[in-house]
Structure 1
Amino acid sequence: MMKEQVEVEEEPKIMGVSEDQYADSSDSDDGVNEFKAVFKKYKKRRPAPDFSGVIDVKTSPLLQSRLVFTEEIPTEKIDLAEKLGLIHPSEWRVYSFPDRVGLYLLPGLLKKENATVWLKRAFKYANPPNITNLTLHGKDVQSDPSLLQKALRWTTLGVEYDWNTKQYPPNGRPVPEELYQLGNLISNSLKLGDMRPDATILNYYPPKSALSPHVDKSERSNAPLISMSLGQTAVYLSGALSLSEPPIPLWLRNGDFLIMHGEQRLVYHAIPCIGPAVKREHFERDEEDPMISDYLNCSRINFTIRQVNPF
């Protein structure tokens, strides 16, 4: 999911930041685009949208939930979860919709105190030789750290997605070990099969940003798409195979994991807004690196771990 460049309202189109090069957000075949209407509703800033219809997975009667582990948990999974900054696996609870088989939510899986660790990694991942939206313009965050907050919108890791051709090359560099371990741990724990992540796309959402309706369909394997939210709360729209079907709105908060598997890998989805005041997340100031807590208190990052190639 979320393999697209982030749009930013009221910001000039610099460095490809606001251009929407990936998504197919055109009208559906029958000319009716119910998804777009819902997207525009939540993207609108004045007057502020009514968020009462956004689903909270922990309290909504529309979802079913269960513990992920009901038997003895292997020690290696417990140790790996701790290493990755996740809560103890005995506390993992997965939420799902009966009519959306393959859409799973694991809320609050990442410990809040470990958000800063993952944000630092997200900024490190934006260094060369990894490609970002700044690369084609001869810029990078290593030589100009100010770009982290004002211009960075995406980073590709591993088998690096080509925004122009909308395709992946045959292969690429390995993804960082922690992302490989994270993707395989989640997929295996949900009994979706072993996953060998070979790509990750990070989307960086500053205030007033959005992600247009799109489908992730370029991967060459059927492995799940596993995303982790960091920072500010987002409204996430989960649609259907056609834009003629209206999406359902969900809250995605810091530390939440959303997994798309099977047919759900090919549904339209989007982020119309982040950080609405009614759901704002607060992070304690990091005295050693104030920019980290400042960023978390106003922006959002999404990691989407993928397996492009079959085994």
Structure 2
Amino acid sequence: MYGTENNRDDSERTAFRRAEKKYKLYYDYNASSKNKKKKQPKPVDLAEVLDFRSILECYHQNAVLPSGVIVLHDKFTSPVFALQNRPGFYFIPGALSIEKQCSLIRESLTDFPQPPNRTNHNALYGPIQDLFVAAKEGKLLVEDNSPITSSETYADIDHRDDKEWKFTTEKDMSLRKCRTVSASVLLRKLRWSTLGLQFDWSKRNYDVSLPHNKIPEALCELSKQLAKPALPGGVEFRPDAAIVNYFGLGDTLVATLMTWSR
């Protein structure tokens, strides 16, 4: 995020907002006009920033940790750390191997957006099957004037016009009179998909009436394993819904409080 500093009283901000302002990327606008196209970012003091990977490396080397950081569990698959002055906050550096991360990335593109899972594209285009494959094959999503099939839910129909969309190739000459959008553009603009119970963003709640599949078993087991350190003994985490977020180049991740999450 880019911005300019303001004179707002720092005491009015929450701890998160103060940290966000402190570490936000600012550019130096006082540079000469010749260098406007090559404006330089202002330096940021990162002395107080926690480097999770560095903490893990130091722990493995000599068990020395920064002040305020403690080991919560050392018999977990990877050490679980906590902050003494932030009760309830835990972090697990290196919790997922590179291989596991790559596997989840592949699934997030090929499997997670598949109907009946809903995505941010449902509101306009309805359910989209095999988006990743269509993007690889250079296909276009084309507006079809045929009636909507009974396989679509009313939730999909209510948020868009009464048209169906289907994938086809650019060689189809009938495209000249149809609205089209390339599969690669849709893939690039994919922002979220929902697993398990489907979330209704307009009502900010889960709609149990919508068709849905269970969360993939492997993902369930992974989430159960990662949730163990934060749960009391004998309590098992039972995931039944998840939201997968997609970030493109230049996107930033911000903290969000979801009061409606399960």
Q: Which TM class, normalised by the smaller chain length?
A: 0.5 to 0.7
Q: 2:95 aligns with which of 104, 109, 119?
A: 109
Q: Which amino acid aligns with 1:97?
A: L
| Equivalent-residue separation in structure 2 for 1:150 and 1:45 (angstroms) | 27
Q: Determine if the alignment matches structure 1 residue 196 to structure 2 residue 241.
A: no
**Aligned ranges for residues 1-311 of structure 1 at < 5 Å?**
32-34=12-14, 35-44=16-25, 46=27, 47=41, 50=44, 51-57=46-52, 58=55, 60-69=66-75, 89=76, 91-123=77-109, 124-138=111-125, 140=128, 141-142=131-132, 143-144=134-135, 145-147=183-185, 150-170=188-208, 172-188=212-228, 190-192=230-232, 193-219=235-261, 308=262
Q: Give how far 1:147 is off.
A: 4.1
- Per the alignment, residue 230 of structure 1 pairs with none
1:64 maps to amino acid: I
Quick one: structure 1 residues 165 and 179, their matched pair in 2 at CA, closer, same or farther if it must change by over 3 Å?
Answer: same
Partners of 2:242 and 2:81 in 1: CA distance = 24
- Between the aligned residues of both structures, percent identity stands at 26
Structure with more helix by fraction: 2
Q: 1:113 to 1:180 in 2, by over 3 A?
A: closer
Contact kept in structure 1, 2:78 and 2:92, CA below 8 Å: yes
1:239 aligned residue: none
Change (3 A) 1:113 1:41: same
How far residue 39 of structure 1 moved from its aligned partner, in angstroms, is 2.2
Q: Which runs of 5+ in 2 are unaligned?
A: 3-10, 28-40, 56-64, 136-182
1:29-67 deviation line (CA, Å, top 9, x unaligned) = xx9224334324434353256244321231532211144
1:217 Cα deviation (Å)?
Answer: 1.4
Query: How many Å separate the matches in 1 of 2:216 and 2:43?
Result: 39
More strand by share: 1
Matched residue type, 2:94: G
Match for residue 170 of structure 2?
none
Q: Say whether the 8 Å CA contact 2:71–2:79 is kept in structure 1.
A: yes
Q: Which runs of 5+ in 1 are unaligned?
A: 1-7, 10-30, 70-88, 220-307
Deviation at 1:92, TM superposition (A): 1.7
Please report the TM-score for the alignment, with normalisation by the length of structure 1: 0.48
What do you get for the CA RMSD once the two structures are aligned?
2.8
Residue number in structure 1 paired with 2:58: none
C-alpha distance in structure 2 between counterparts of 1:48 and 1:203, whole Å: 30
Retained in 2: the 8 A contact 1:131–1:155?
A: yes
Secondary structure at 1:113 match in 2: helix
Change (3 A) 1:97 1:150: same
CA contact 2:69–2:81 (8 Å) conserved in 1: yes
User: Alpha-carbon deviation of 1:185?
Assistant: 2.1
* Number of positions where the alignment pairs a residue of Structure 1 with one of Structure 2: 172
Report which structure shows greater RCO (CA 8 Å, sep ≥6).
1
Q: Output the amino acid matched with 1:102.
A: G
Q: For 1:164, what is the secondary structure of its paired residue?
A: coil
| Alignment check: 8 A CA contact 1:179 1:197 kept | no
